[in-house]
Structure 1
Amino acid sequence: MPPIKSPLQILISLLLLLFLIPLTTSEIHSTHIQSDTRSTIPISEFGFTHTGRLHLNLTHIQFSPPEPDLSRIGFFLCTRDSIVNVIQQLQSNQISCPLDSTAVKTIFTFNHLKPTTTTPSYDVVFNITDANQFTLVFANCENGKFKVSVDVVSVMYNLDVKNNYRRDYLSAGKTNLPLIYFLFFLMYVLLCGIWVYVLYIRKSSVFRIHVFMLAVLILKGLNLLCETEDKSYIKKTGTAHGWDVLFYIFSFLKGITLFTLIVLIGTGWSFLKPYLQDREKKVLMIVIPLQVVANVAQVVIDETGPFGEDSYTWRQVFLLVDIVCCCAVLFPIIWSIKNLREAAMTDGKAAVNLMKLTLFRQYYVVVICYIYFTRVAVYVLETITSYKYAWTSVLAAEMATLAFYVFTGYNFRPKAHNPYFAIDDEEEEAAVEILKYEDEFEL
C-alpha cells in the first residue's frame, strides 16, 4: 500500500506549488494524469477579469484501488495569497485538505460529477467574478491511498465586454502582447531598411560581419512576426495553429546568430583580423550546441505543464545553459581587450589601438548590462509586477534588445574613414601615458 500522506506532506506539496508559480500560461490546456498519488497537481495559470470563464472536460477517470471518497478529490482555484493561507491552516491543523479551505475557490469534487453523455465524459463550467490571477489545481486528499488517472482539458478565457463579449484566450495581463510584438516587428523592418541603405552607400567599407548583422536583424524580425501571429491566434482561438512551431524555429536561429555575432564582434573578426583563432573557434563550438540545448529546454518548458515530471529539471537545464552561454561570449571580448592593450605598447600605434580598446571596453560593458537586464532585471520585474501588467516585462525586454541592436549597429557600422585613425600627435602621446600609468597602477 502507498504511504499515507499526512497534512505535513500536503503542506510540503503546496510549498512546492508556491515556488513553482508562475510556471506556464495556458489557454486550452490538455493534461494527462496517469496513476498519480500526489496530493496537489497544478494544471494551469491564468489572469481572469470579472467576466472570466473556466471550462473543464474530464475523461478516462480511473481510481486504483476503486471506491475512494470522491468528496476528497477535486479541483480548486487559488491565488498566491490563498496558497499562503492554506499553508497556515494546514500548519495549525485547522484543515487536512486544501479543498476544505475557504481561502480557495473549490470548482467541484468528484462526487458531484454527472456524465454529459452515455460515454464517461464530464463537463464543468465555472464563472469567475473576482478579477485575479488564479492557478487551477487538482487535489487528491485521500492521503496517497488512491492512484488517480484522468484526462483533463482546461479552457480559460475572458469575455471582452467591449467587443460583443468575444472570448479572449490570453491572460488579462498579456492580451496586449500581439500589438506589442507587431510594433517591434515594424521597428525591426525599419532597422533592416536603414541597414540595407547604409550597406549600399558604404559598400566599399562593408565587411562580412555587416552582412551577418543584417541576417541577425532579419531573423529577429521574423521571430517577432511569428510571435505576433502565435499570440494573435491564441487570443482568438486558444491555440497557436502551428505558429508556435515557426516561432520556435526562428527563436532558435535568432538565439544562435545573436550569440555568434557577439562572439565575432568580441574577437574583432572582420574588423581587426579576417580569421578566428583556435580558442575563439572553441567558444563558438561550445556556444552553438548549448544554444541547441537551451532551445530544446525552452520548447519542453513551454509545451509541458507544471504536472510534468521533467519540467523542473528542464527549467534548471535552461537556466544553467543560458548562464554558461552568456559567460562564454564575454571571453572573446576580454581577449581582444588584452591583445589591444599589449599591441598599444609594442607597435607604436598606441592611439589607434587605444580607440579600438575603448570601443571594445564599451561593448563589453554594454553586453554585461544587456545580459544582466534581460536575465535578471526583467525576471524581477515580472515577479513583482501585478498580473494585470505582465506585458511590461515583455516590453522592457524587447526595448533592451532593440537598444542593444542599435548600439551594436551604430558603433560597428561601415565607414569610409575609420575614426580610430583621426587622432593627432598630442592625443597619441596622451594615450601612451595613460597606458603606462595603467600598467604601473596594476603592478
Structure 2
Amino acid sequence: MSIPLLFLILLSAASRAAAEIRFTELRSDTRQIIPVDEFGFTHRGQLELNLTQLSLTGTNPNPSALSKVGFFLVTMDAWIHVLQQIEERDIDCVLSSSAVKVVFTFDRLPTPVPSDYNVLYSETTADQYTLLFANCFPQLAVTMKVRSAMYNLEDGKSNNRDYLSAGKTVLPRVYFFFSMVYFVLAATWIYVLYKKRLTIFRIHFFMLAVVLLKMLNLLCEAEDKSYIKRTGSAHGWDVLFYIFSFLKGIMLFTLIVLIGTGWSFLKPYLQDKEKKVLMIVIPLQVVANIAQVVIDEKGQIAQDWVTWKQVFLLVDVICCCAVLFPIVWSIKNLREAAKTDGKAAVNLMKLTLFRQYYIVVICYIYFTRVVVYALETITSYRYLWTSIVAGELATLGFYVFTGYKFKPEAHNPYFVLDDEEEEAAAEQLKLEDEFEL
C-alpha cells in the first residue's frame, strides 16, 4: 500500500478532535507524510507555526530542493485528487500538486537556519482542512519542535480568536445543556428513590452514581471546550474530564453487566462466569481510557498514534460484545425456569423485560459506535456538532429507558399474579416452543 493511500485511510478514520494549540516534537523522523492536525476554517481562518531546534540530517539536498519539504493544507476531496496524480506519476511530491495549499517550505528558511522560525498563514476559503508535513526525500531525517495553532477570527471589530473548529464552536453550550439535563435526571431519580425507599435495591444507588458521573463528565467537557475555544488550551479541565470519563465508562459497562445478570433484581450474588466478565471489562476500560488520552494529547503526528487508535477501537468492540453475554445468559435461565418452577407468568414477564433490554443495549451500542460515526463522516464540516448531539440523545434515551424499566416498585408486578395470568403465560410459552420447533 502506498504511503499517501495509507494516510488517506488514517485521515478518514481519525476522529475529528477539537483542534487546539499543539506542541509536538520530531526526532530524526524520515516519514514522507505526517498528519499534524485537522480544523474547519471559516473565511477568516488563521494558522500559526513556530519551529524550534530545527535540524536536517542524512541526505542534505541543496537549498532550492528543500521546496519539497514543508507543511501544507488539504481537504479530503483534494487529497483524493493528489493520490490520483501520484499514481499516474504526474507529480513526484505532494507539495508540487496544485490541489494542496502550501503553508511553508524549507527553502524559505534563511541561512544559517535560525533556532526559532515563525509562520503565519491566512485561509479565506471556508472548508475542513488537514495540516500535514511532507518530506519528499526518503533519506532526509528531520528534527524539530513544532507549535501549531489553528483558529478562526470572529466577525466584527473584536477579532477574537476561536480555537474550536467551525463545526464544533457550539460544543461548550451543547455539553453544558446536556449536563443540566442529567442534573435534572439525577434529581428526579433521587426523588424516586426517596419515595420508594422501602423497595430499593443496591443497584438503584449504582444507577444514581452513573448518572452523576455522566453529569460531571459533561460539565467538565463543557468547561474544557470553553477554555479551548477562548485560549487554545484546556487549562487543566482536560484532566478532570479524563478522570470522570474514565469512571463513567467503567461504571456504565459494569451497570450493564449487573443488570444483565439480574443482580439485585433476580439474585443478590454474581456467578463465577459473570464475575469473569467484569474482570475482563473493567481492565479493558482502563486500557481504552489510556488509549483515548494518548490519542487526544499526542495527536496524529505521533508515530504510535495509529497503534493507539487501533487499540482503542479493538478494546471498545470487545467491551461492547462482552456486556451482551450476561443478558443472553439471563434470558436463557429465565426460559428454563419458566418451564420448570410453575411460575410461568412471573418468569415470562422477567424474560420479556430482559429481551427488551438486550435489544436496547444492542441498538445503543450500534447507534453510538456506527451511526454516530457515519453521521460524522457524511455531515458537512460546519455541522459536525450534530453527530455529537445525536450520540448524546441516544445515550440519554438509554439512561431513561434503563431507569424506567428497572425503577423500584412498591407493588412489584412480577410477584403479584393470579392463576389466570399464570395459565396464559404458560400457554404463550408453549406456543413459542412450538413456533421454534
Q: TM-score, normalised by structure 2?
A: 0.95
Q: Which amino acid aligns with 1:410?
A: Y
Give aligned pairs, total. 431
| Equivalent position SS for 1:421 | coil
Deviation at 1:30, TM superposition (A): 1.5
The gaps in structure 2 that reach 5 residues or longer are: none
Correspondence for 1:49 among 33, 42, 60? 42
Question: Which residue of 2 is the match for residue 129 of structure 1?
Answer: 124
Deviation at 1:317, TM superposition (A): 1.2
**Is 1:62 matched up with 2:63?**
no
Q: Summarize the alignment of residues 9-408 of structure 1 with structure 2, pairs less than 5 Å apart.
A: 12-22=2-12, 23=14, 24-65=17-58, 67-68=60-61, 69-114=65-110, 120-142=115-137, 144-162=138-156, 164-408=158-402
Question: Which residue of 1 is the match for residue 409 of structure 2?
Answer: 415
Q: Deviations over 1:244-273 (max 9, x none)?
A: 111111001000100111111111111111
- Which range moved further: 309-318 or 226-235? 309-318
Contact 1:114 1:122 in 2 (8 A): no
| Equivalent position SS for 1:64 | strand
Supply the distance in 2 between the matched residues of 1:264 and 1:67 (Cα, whole angstroms).
62
Supply the distance in 2 between the matched residues of 1:355 and 1:163 (Cα, whole angstroms).
65
Contact 1:227 1:244 in 2 (8 A): yes
Contact 2:154 2:161 in 1 (8 A): yes
Deviation at 1:93, TM superposition (A): 2.1
Q: Deviations over 1:381-409 (max 9, x none)?
A: 11111111110111011000000000000
Q: Label 1:187 to 1:126 Cα distance change in 2 as closer, same or farther (>3 A).
A: same
Deviation at 1:441, TM superposition (A): 3.3
Q: Deviations over 1:56-77 (max 9, x none)?
A: 0011111113642322211111
Supply the distance in 1 between the matched residues of 2:427 and 2:321 (Cα, whole angstroms).
32
Contact 2:324 2:358 in 1 (8 A): yes
Deviation at 1:427, TM superposition (A): 2.6
Supply the distance in 2 between the matched residues of 1:146 and 1:326 (Cα, whole angstroms).
44
Deviation at 1:26, TM superposition (A): 2.5
Supply the distance in 2 between the matched residues of 1:59 and 1:393 (Cα, whole angstroms).
38
Question: Which residue of 2 is the match for residue 6 of structure 1?
Answer: none
Q: Deviations over 1:360-382 (max 9, x none)?
A: 11011100100111111111111
Q: Which amino acid aligns with 2:28?
A: S
Deviation at 1:118, TM superposition (A): 10
| Equivalent position SS for 1:263 | helix
Q: Which amino acid aligns with 1:372?
A: Y
Supply the distance in 1 between the matched residues of 2:157 and 2:235 (Cα, whole angstroms).
23
Contact 2:18 2:168 in 1 (8 A): no
The gaps in structure 1 that reach 5 residues or longer are: 1-8
Contact 1:182 1:225 in 2 (8 A): yes
Q: Label 1:26 to 1:216 Cα distance change in 2 as closer, same or farther (>3 A).
A: same
Deviation at 1:38, TM superposition (A): 1.7
Deviation at 1:145, TM superposition (A): 2.5
Q: Deviations over 1:127-154 (max 9, x none)?
A: 1100001111111122x13111111111
Supply the distance in 1 between the matched residues of 2:89 and 2:254 (Cα, whole angstroms).
56
| Equivalent position SS for 1:315 | helix
Question: Which residue of 2 is the match for residue 3 of structure 1?
Answer: none
Q: Deviations over 1:141-174 (max 9, x none)?
A: 22x1311111111110001115722100000000
Q: Which amino acid aligns with 1:247?
A: F
Contact 2:60 2:140 in 1 (8 A): no
Supply the distance in 2 between the matched residues of 1:91 and 1:330 (Cα, whole angstroms).
45
Q: Deviations over 1:205-231 (max 9, x none)?
A: 111010111100111101001101110
Deviation at 1:114, TM superposition (A): 4.4
Q: Deviations over 1:172-218 (max 9, x none)?
A: 00001110000000000001100111111110011101011110011
| Equivalent position SS for 1:21 | helix
Contact 1:55 1:123 in 2 (8 A): yes
Contact 1:291 1:321 in 2 (8 A): yes
Deviation at 1:233, TM superposition (A): 0.5
